[in-house]
């Protein structure tokens, strides 16, 4: 999708014009909340403080949560997590290697889980068995059975369960949903296009924390399998799990439905380095009522960057790089989205994480402003604060088990469709 700077400017202004006077406009200026959550900050234990875990750790609002313990099988990750807390002038958290020790010995109320995908179900069900609230990174689990185990454990525990799809808390997505989708300004949507394009191998360089470190103790035959778990099928669902599940979750939210069939293609085409996860993947999801969503992810060219585009009979909405919404009139009579190129430019916050770097696209596009640069709250901070508040008040989380399960099983089916070379029912 080629959008010139001038076209993007028009799209931004169309979006802001469409929101003018609507309550959704206020959502774009979400600031960090300073009012303490009722009952005081939630006492949190982190499980997994690698790159993504530390991204979450750095977004815990102290008015809502206090990190008192951390568990990780890599001592180097724990040391780096200490540095994150120190930079935020927060007290050092207790260290554990085994999550079971943390659950047994620490006075925590909630657990934030950012371990490799294959371990989600085991860690989360242990946390629920201990009576904890749980925020788990996406995808929900490696397989459908794991998802179902997590749902059953959450139901039995009766505690809060959130899955980490930050778009549900991203101010620009909330404004677009409330101000565009809910008001049906796009008309009828029959097609959605998802893209997440990068130019890089996804392989991380790293060395064991000590010469005698034994990764096999934790189920990994080599340290590379532990360090680069996303590249191996027994731990990962590859690009579908790490990237597509984010975007498909947002598409399901905006469409108000979930797919019932999928076709997919992909392979290891560029980086023939022993990996098992595809470096190029494509999928077509079919929904009831004639709606189709396509996804492409390539690791050979970043020009297209990442976006979700919703094509309606009246207008097109593009959620671009998690940072801005662009609205374009379809050109038919009676629409209200066409405006002159004047007015206030829109904008929102982009969250940077291990799988979503702020500059993960073509170099010709400037990176979106960060939360610290704008004074706004990141989507991740809003997500964790919302989770803490839900745990205290019993209110609903924005992306609980039902929504997370729909995107997980659809991405699992896409991964299986490549393996089976067949169209699959979901």
10-residue mean pLDDT series, the chain (426 residues): 89 95 84 77 97 96 96 96 96 97 98 98 98 98 98 98 97 96 98 98 94 95 97 98 98 98 98 98 97 98 96 98 95 41 29 35 33 71 96 95 97 98 97
Complete domains list, the chain, with CATH: 5-28+168-373+401-425 (3.30.360.10), 42-165 (3.40.50.720)
User: CA 62 → CA 31, 39, 43, 381, 396, distances in Å?
Assistant: 14, 13, 10, 10, 21
Q: Please, which residues have CB within 8 angstroms of residue 9's CB and are 6 or more apart in sequence?
A: 341, 345
pLDDT value for 354: 37
User: What's the pTM?
Assistant: 0.90
pLDDT score, position 314: 97
- The pLDDT of residue 80 is 97
C-beta pairs of 368-377 under 8 Å, 24+ apart in sequence: 368/321, 368/322, 368/323, 368/324, 369/323, 374/347, 374/349, 375/31, 376/29, 376/30, 376/31, 376/32, 376/171, 376/348, 376/349, 377/30, 377/31, 377/32, 377/33, 377/61, 377/349
What is the pLDDT at residue 374? Answer: 52
What integer pLDDT is reported at residue 38 of this predicted model?
Answer: 79
Q: What pLDDT does residue 214 have?
A: 95
């Amino acid at each position: 999708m080629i959008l010139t700077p001038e076209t993007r400017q028009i799209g931004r202004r169309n979006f802001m014009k469409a929101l003018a006077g609507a309550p959704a406009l206020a959502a774009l200026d979400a600031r960090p909340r300073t009012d303490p959550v009722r009952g005081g900050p939630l006492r949190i234990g982190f499980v997994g403080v690698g790159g993504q875990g530390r991204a979450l750790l750095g977004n815990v609002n102290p008015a809502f949560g206090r990190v008192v313990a951390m568990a990780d099988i890599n001592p180097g990750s724990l040391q780096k997590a200490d540095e994150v807390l120190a930079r935020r002038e927060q007290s050092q958290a207790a260290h554990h290697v085994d999550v079971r020790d943390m659950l047994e010995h620490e006075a925590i109320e909630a657990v934030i889980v950012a371990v490799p995908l294959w371990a989600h179900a085991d860690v989360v069900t242990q946390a629920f068995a201990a009576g904890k609230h749980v925020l788990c990174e996406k995808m929900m689990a490696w397989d459908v059975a794991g998802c179902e185990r997590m749902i059953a454990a959450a139901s039995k525990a009766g505690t809060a369960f959130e899955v980490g799809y930050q778009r549900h808390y991203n101010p620009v997505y909330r404004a677009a949903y409330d101000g565009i989708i809910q008001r049906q300004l796009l008309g009828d949507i029959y097609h959605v296009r998802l893209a997440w394009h990068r130019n890089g191998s996804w392989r991380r360089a790293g060395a064991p924390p000590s010469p005698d470190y034994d990764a096999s103790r934790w189920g990994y035959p080599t340290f590379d399998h532990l360090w680069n778990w996303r590249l191996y099928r027994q731990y990962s669902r590859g690009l579908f799990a790490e990237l597509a599940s984010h975007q498909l979750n947002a598409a399901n939210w905006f469409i108000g439905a979930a797919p019932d069939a999928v076709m997919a293609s992909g392979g290891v085409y560029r980086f023939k380095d022993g990996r098992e996860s595809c470096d190029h993947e494509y999928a077509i999801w079919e929904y009831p009522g004639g709606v189709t969503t396509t996804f492409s992810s390539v690791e050979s060219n970043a020009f297209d960057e990442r976006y979700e585009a919703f094509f309606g009979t009246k207008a097109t909405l593009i959620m671009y790089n998690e940072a801005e919404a662009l609205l374009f009139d379809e050109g038919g009579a009676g629409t209200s989205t066409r405006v002159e190129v004047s007015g206030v430019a829109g904008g929102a916050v982009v969250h940077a994480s291990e799988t979503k770097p702020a500059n993960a696209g073509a170099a010709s596009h400037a990176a979106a402003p960060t939360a610290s640069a704008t004074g706004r709250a990141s989507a991740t901070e809003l997500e964790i604060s919302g989770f803490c508040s839900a745990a205290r008040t019993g209110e609903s989380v924005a992306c609980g088990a039902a929504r997370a399960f729909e995107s997980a099983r659809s991405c699992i089916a896409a991964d299986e469709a490549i393996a089976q070379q067949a169209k699959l029912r979901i």
